[in-house]
A = this chain, B = another copy of it.
Amino acid sequence: MIDDFFDNCLYFTVNKLSRAITKMAEDSFKKTGLSPTHAFLMMLVIDKPGISQSELADALHLKPSTITRFVDKLVEKGLIERKTEGKRSLNFPTENGEAILKDIKDGWKILYRAYSDVLGEEEGKALNKLVNEAGSKLEKQ
């Protein structure tokens, strides 16, 4: 029937998986008070204080305008400080920003455990590898 048809469409199955794992990730990062992507952005800023927004966009595979919006929110929350330098905007973690790194790392572990428990650890890794490679190939189109 028609359901089979959907199940054979990578657009459909990937988005189904995306919604499921996004929900799981949001739960896992709850303690940080951040969405998973905001948490990743914080990690990048802590890892390289002064990182520019285009570097963030590259690393997260998101558009610059999206990064502006995300950083806005993290500045509002007092986790990032933005310094404008010429045409660039450089991003530094505040003290509070540094302080949540532990919660973020915990969140990541919780997430990893949660999906590994369901999928199997090795299967999860294998899936991840395939998904990552496919994403890299398709995003170049």
Contacts and interface: CB of A to CB of B under 8 A. Distances in A.
Interface in A3-56: 3, 5-22, 24-25, 36-37, 40, 43-44, 47
A10 B131 contact: yes
Interface residues of A, number: 53
B141 A7 contact: no
A65 interface: no
A61 interface: yes
SS class, residues of chain A in contact with chain B: helix
A93 to B, nearest CB: 14
B135 A11 contact: no
A135 B119 CA distance: 10
Contacts of A138: 17, 20-21, 24, 115, 118-119
A132 interface: yes
A69 interface: no
Interface of A: 1-3, 5-22, 24-25, 36-37, 40, 43-44, 47, 59-61, 108, 111-112, 114-115, 118-119, 124-125, 127-128, 130-132, 134-139, 141
